[in-house]
Amino acid sequence: MRKILIGLATLAVLGLGAAWWITEPKTDHIARVFAIGDAKRGELVFNAGGCASCHTSPGQDNRLWLGGGMKFATEFGTFFAPNISPHVRDGIGGWSYEMFTNALQAGVSPDGSHYYPAFPYTTYVHMRPQDVSDLFAFMRTLPPAEGRAPPNQVKFPFDQRRALGFWKFLYLDTKQIANDPAKSAEWNRGRYLVEGLGHCAECHSARTALGGIDEAYRMAGGPNPDGKGTTPNLTPGSQAFAKWSKADIVELLTTGMTPDPDEVAGSMAEVVKNMSLLPKSDREAMAEYIKSLPAKASPPKK
């Protein structure tokens, strides 16, 4: 009996040690490559990443007034987008480049705690070092917005931030998006914009019970983050979308008009505002990649 108890105690200690290691906020996967940031290029990264869509203060006409405060109600709780303006006290004006990359690509705050994945660092983790540097340079040129967003209202047990380490262990894929030499430069650019900066899968995918992207339905549509209806299937598994041409997708990303004809609304209208500011070649690249996606069935309606 004594040996059994010792064995159980040993297993418990090992289990606790493993759990502590898994849940520890980690940043060692980030490519710490020094690159001088270019604010002009950073503006393109800012628009491709859709930063203004979430962080512009509600009611503000200036989309570069990033005081935060936008509300996101989810089944796990209510989240409020934070102030990411260069305001030293209320925003990120006092952050170092390392703090910025830790937040953007690892979901780790300056105080060393986990950020909730309502912030799509699960996709921004794929950003290339130069783009991160350029974005950081551009963010520093924006107006400092005073004021902080309300605190998140998260339900137990999801309010235990340390436990987010388990979530990251399951869902945070830190592999970089490498160019496929068998594909065209346009396709590779489109893949990076869709799967990286544009984080399209964050909205156009079904989720597991824990809130991670269900890979079986990645890009095949899912519940609308706005809380109404569903987002469309972007693969040829949708007969309607399979009929869209590359030009149709470019038109949608430029004007918000569909070939039906109809006009997008809600969060997709915000996406169009951002994508319309990119060079046309980038929208064409995104369309090229999206048209190449493998067919997947849409997720069953709940």
For 99-117, the pLDDT digits (tens) are 999 999 999 999 999 999 9
Q: Tens digit of pLDDT for each residue in 166-189?
A: 999 999 999 889 999 999 999 999
Candidates 255, 225, 222; CA nearest to 238 is: 222
Give phi and psi for 81, each to the nearest 5: -60, 130
Please report which confidence band the pLDDT of residue 191 belongs to, taking 50, 70 and 90 as the band edges: very high
Q: What is the DSSP letter of 114?
A: B
Residue 232: asked if its preceding bond is cis (omega within 30°), the reply is no
Strands (E), the chain: 71-74, 77-80, 153-154, 222-223, 230-231, 257-258, 262-263
Indicate the length of the chain as a whole number. 302
Please report which confidence band the pLDDT of residue 23 belongs to, taking 50, 70 and 90 as the band edges: confident
Candidates 271, 30, 60, 219; CA nearest to 132 is: 30
Rounded CA gap, 118 and 81, in Å? 9
Q: Which residues are within 8 A (CB) of 133 and not within 5 positions of it... i.e. 6 or more apart?
A: 35, 36, 37, 38, 42, 97
What does 183-209 look like in DSSP terms, one character per residue?
S-HHHHHHHHIIIIIT-GGGTSS-B-T
Q: pLDDT at residue 15 above 70? A: no
> Which stretch of DSSP H or E encloses residue 123?
helix 121-124
Starting from the edge strand earliest in sequence, which strands make up the sheet with 77-80, in order? 71-74, 77-80, 153-154
Rounded CA gap, 190 and 270, in Å? 19
Please report which confidence band the pLDDT of residue 17 belongs to, taking 50, 70 and 90 as the band edges: low
Q: 0.75 exceeded by the pTM?
A: yes
Candidates 32, 28, 27, 194; CA nearest to 129 is: 32
Q: What residue segments make up the domains of the chain, in order of their start?
A: 30-145+157-171, 185-290
Q: Tens digit of pLDDT for each residue in 198-209?
A: 999 999 999 998
Q: pLDDT at residue 97 above 90? A: yes
The predicted model gives 238-249 an average pLDDT of 92
